[in-house]
Chain A
Amino acid sequence: MIRLDKVSYQIETSAGAVQVLRDIDLELPDGSISAIVGPNGSGKSTLARLVSGLLRPTSGSVRLLPDGDNQTVADVRPGLDVGLVFQNPDNQLVATTVEDDIAFGLENLELPHAEMVRRVGDVLHLLGLEQFRDYPPHRLSGGQKQKVAIAGVLAMKPSFLILDEATSLLDPTNRREVRQTVLRLNSELGIGIVIVTHLLDEVLVASRVGVLAHGALAAWDSPRAVFSDPAVVELGGLVLPLSARASFLMRERWTDFPLCLTPEEFARATCQLN
Chain B
Amino acid sequence: MALSRSFVLGQHYPGTSVVHRSGALVKLVSTIALMIGVFVATKTVQYIPIAVFLALGIGVSRIPLRFFARGLKPILFLIVLTVVVQVFFTPGTPIWQFGFVRITREGLGLAGFILCRLVLLTLVSVLLTASTSPIELTDAVSDLLKPLSHIGLPSAEIALVMSIAMRFVPTILEETERIIRAQVSRGARIGEGSLIVRMKSFIPILIPLFVSSFRRADDLAVAMEARGFRVGSPRTRYHARHFRSFDAFILLGTAAALSGVVLWRLFL
Interface presence of B174 (CB below 8 A)? yes
Partner of A94 from B4, B215, B220, B240 at Cβ < 8 Å: B220
Interface presence of A110 (CB below 8 A)? yes
> Which stretch (B25-33, B96-104, B227-235, B251-259) binds chain A?
B227-235
**Chain A: CB-nearest residue to B164:** A94
Partner of B236 from A84, A116, A153 at Cβ < 8 Å: A116
Query: Is there contact, CB below 8 Å, between B237 and A107?
Result: yes
Give chain B nearest CB distance to A84 CB in angstroms.
4
Give chain A nearest CB distance to B30 CB in angstroms.
22
Partner of B133 from A52, A97, A103 at Cβ < 8 Å: A97
Query: Is there contact, CB below 8 Å, between B133 and A111?
Result: no
Which B residues, 207 to 236, have Cβ-Cβ distances below 8 Å to chain A?
215-216, 219-220, 222-230, 233-236
Partner of A84 from B134, B171, B226, B240 at Cβ < 8 Å: B226
Partner of B227 from A79, A136, A138 at Cβ < 8 Å: A79
For the complex, give the distance between the alpha carbons of A13 and B166 in Å.
35
For the complex, give the distance between the alpha carbons of A84 and B240 in Å.
28
Residues of A contacting B226 with CB < 8 Å?
A: 52, 54, 78-79, 83-84, 86, 153
Residues of A contacting B166 with CB < 8 Å?
A: 96
For the complex, give the distance between the alpha carbons of A137 and B135 in Å.
13
Query: Is there contact, CB below 8 Å, between A96 and B228?
Result: no
On whether A111 and B236 interact (CB within 8 A), knowing A91-B219, A94-B167, A138-B174, the answer reads yes
For the complex, give the distance between the alpha carbons of A107 and B239 in Å.
10
Count how many chain A residues have C-beta atoms less than 8 Å from C-beta atoms of the other chain: 43
Query: Is there contact, CB below 8 Å, between A134 and B223?
Result: no
For the complex, give the distance between the alpha carbons of A103 and B233 in Å.
16
Residues of A contacting B171 with CB < 8 Å?
A: 90, 137-138
Residues of A contacting B227 with CB < 8 Å?
A: 78-79, 83, 94, 104-105, 108, 152-153, 156
Which A residues, 188 to 240, have Cβ-Cβ distances below 8 Å to chain B?
none
Interface presence of B163 (CB below 8 A)? yes
Give chain A nearest CB distance to B23 CB in angstroms.
15
Interface membership of chain A positions 50-74, coded 1 if the CB is closer than 8 angstroms to chain B and 0 otherwise: 0010100000000000000000000
On whether A96 and B225 interact (CB within 8 A), knowing A86-B219, A106-B238, A113-B238, the answer reads no
Interface presence of A120 (CB below 8 A)? yes
Interface presence of A1 (CB below 8 A)? no
**Chain A: CB-nearest residue to B217:** A91
Interface presence of B170 (CB below 8 A)? yes
Interface membership of chain B positions 154-169, coded 1 if the CB is closer than 8 angstroms to chain A and 0 otherwise: 0000000001101100
Count how many chain B residues have C-beta atoms less than 8 Å from C-beta atoms of the other chain: 33
Query: Is there contact, CB below 8 Å, between A110 and B135?
Result: no
Query: Is there contact, CB below 8 Å, between A86 and B222?
Result: yes
Interface presence of A124 (CB below 8 A)? no
Query: Is there contact, CB below 8 Å, between A107 and B235?
Result: yes
Interface presence of B204 (CB below 8 A)? no
Residues of A contacting B133 with CB < 8 Å?
A: 96-97
**Chain B: CB-nearest residue to A110:** B236
Which of B171, B222, B233, B240 has the most chain A CB within a 10 Å cutoff? B222
Give chain B nearest CB distance to A44 CB in angstroms.
15
Query: Is there contact, CB below 8 Å, between A103 and B238?
Result: yes
Query: Is there contact, CB below 8 Å, between B225 and A100?
Result: no
Interface presence of B59 (CB below 8 A)? no
For the complex, give the distance between the alpha carbons of A79 and B180 in Å.
37
Interface presence of A148 (CB below 8 A)? no
Residues of B contacting A111 with CB < 8 Å?
A: 236
Which B residues, 134 to 182, have Cβ-Cβ distances below 8 Å to chain A?
134-135, 163-164, 166-167, 170-171, 174
Interface presence of A93 (CB below 8 A)? yes
**Chain B: CB-nearest residue to A92:** B223
Interface presence of B14 (CB below 8 A)? yes
Query: Is there contact, CB below 8 Å, between A94 and B224?
Result: yes
For the complex, give the distance between the alpha carbons of A106 and B238 in Å.
8
**Chain A: CB-nearest residue to B224:** A94
Query: Is there contact, CB below 8 Å, between A95 and B228?
Result: no
Query: Is there contact, CB below 8 Å, between A96 and B222?
Result: no
Query: Is there contact, CB below 8 Å, between A100 and B229?
Result: no
On whether A54 and B222 interact (CB within 8 A), knowing A108-B230, A136-B170, the answer reads yes
Residues of B in contact with A (beta carbons under 8 Å apart): 4, 14, 133-135, 163-164, 166-167, 170-171, 174, 215-216, 219-220, 222-230, 233-240
List 9 tightest A-B contacts by C-beta distance, closest first: A92-B223, A103-B238, A108-B228, A91-B219, A105-B227, A79-B228, A138-B170, A84-B226, A96-B134
Q: A78-B227, A96-B134 are in contact. List 5 more A-B contacts (CB 8 A).
A: A92-B220, A95-B167, A100-B135, A107-B238, A108-B228
The contact sample of 8 A-B pairs, CB cut-off 8 A, is: A49-B222, A78-B227, A93-B167, A94-B167, A94-B223, A108-B228, A109-B228, A153-B227
